[in-house]
Structure 1
């Protein structure tokens, strides 16, 4: 395959991913959770707030509407290209959570939504957040617990196998339940944690299940025939209006120490 063909396929993959993310972001529960994350940041008008793993930039635009200087950070060039196309007036930078392009104590708010589960060393990202935040600055971590996703299915045992196998392929699949410990270990003050559950019944979320089962199948945790049968059952449930996926999310917030 040529590099041009690979680029086209990657572009199509990103477009498909964006379609799924957009559908998820439009869910009322997702809209409420984003709004809650902004509240937890205790926004100060005119201050700088960074959104880590900003993806296509929706949160950056929403934060800017609330009167702050919002900066989106993401390591993915395709995602940043989509963000810049969608929000041409916003600021986006290419970087990872462990190495941010900001001076010490230069930002007032730090937000990372659905990011820490893909990191191999979440503690490094927390230390970097502590470095860039000013005294009293706020950090908010939001994310799902991949090991606790609930899916209505006729085969509960197979469903558990799929969920756990997919979780085990991630860097930190249980990062959500670890947020509190990470923030405390990072020296943050006023650490608080909330739990929110998003319930999806729209068939538009079916691609999320393929995203669970295909990696589990690829590593041999589930056979191809059983995987196909499981996905077919989920499609039948969607057609009959009996589709349900519930995803627990944690929202942790804290403050950088007022003095070093």
Structure 2
């Protein structure tokens, strides 16, 4: 594959991912979950809040609307380009969660939503959060446990195999259940954990199922025929209003 072809493929994958994220973000459960994360940040008007792994920037725009100086950080230039196009007045910076472009003790709030499962060493990101937060600053971590995703299917065993195979391809697929321990290990205070289960039945989320199944197939964990049959069943469910995906989201909060 030439570099131009690779660029086109990467662009298409980014667009496909954005479509999935947009569809999920607009669901009522997702809207309520974001609002809860903002509440747990104990926002102080005019203070700086960093949204780590900001993606296309929706949370940055919503936080800005709540009167804080929100800064979105993401390692993906393509995601940041989409964010800057969508939210022209917001501030975005390219950086990884383990190396934030902020001085010690310079931010009042830190938020990371669906980020830590991608990291090989989430403890490094927590240490970096601790570094940039001022004393008394708030951290909120939101994310799913990839082993715990529930999908209604006629073949429960195959569904478990697909979900777990996809989880095993991630950096830290069970990061959500580890949030509390990670925060306590780095000396955060007032550590609290909530679990909110989001239920998705909209056919627009059918593409999410493909993004779960296809990597499991590409990795060789599940055969092509079995994945095709499973996805065909899910399409039939979507067409007849019987699709269901339930995802428990862990929400951890603490004070620096």
TM score, norm. by length of structure 2? 0.99
**Aligned equivalents of 1:18, 1:200: Cα separation in 2:** 17
Alignment correspondent of 1:25: 25
The 3-state SS of whatever aligns with 2:166 is helix
**Aligned equivalents of 2:240, 2:53: Cα separation in 1:** 36
Which digits, 9 at most, give the CA deviation of each residue in 1:204-241, with x for residues without a partner? 10111111111111111111111110000000111111
**What is the CA-CA distance between 1:77 and the residue it aligns to?**
0.2
Alignment correspondent of 1:132: 132
The 3-state SS of whatever aligns with 1:102 is coil
**Aligned equivalents of 1:128, 1:101: Cα separation in 2:** 10
**Aligned equivalents of 2:162, 2:80: Cα separation in 1:** 31
Q: Which runs of 5+ in 2 are unaligned?
A: none
Alignment correspondent of 2:192: 192
**Aligned equivalents of 1:226, 1:4: Cα separation in 2:** 33
The 3-state SS of whatever aligns with 1:7 is helix
Q: Which runs of 5+ in 1 are unaligned?
A: none
Alignment correspondent of 2:123: 123
The 3-state SS of whatever aligns with 2:135 is strand
Number of residue pairs matched by the alignment: 256
The 3-state SS of whatever aligns with 1:138 is strand
**Aligned equivalents of 2:85, 2:5: Cα separation in 1:** 22
**Aligned equivalents of 1:84, 1:139: Cα separation in 2:** 24
| RMSD of equivalent CA atoms | 0.7
TM score, norm. by length of structure 1? 0.97
**Aligned equivalents of 1:175, 1:9: Cα separation in 2:** 29
**Aligned equivalents of 1:183, 1:167: Cα separation in 2:** 23
Alignment correspondent of 2:9: 9
Alignment correspondent of 1:154: 154
**What is the CA-CA distance between 1:154 and the residue it aligns to?**
0.5
**What is the CA-CA distance between 1:5 and the residue it aligns to?**
2.7
Q: Is 1:208 paired with 2:208? A: yes
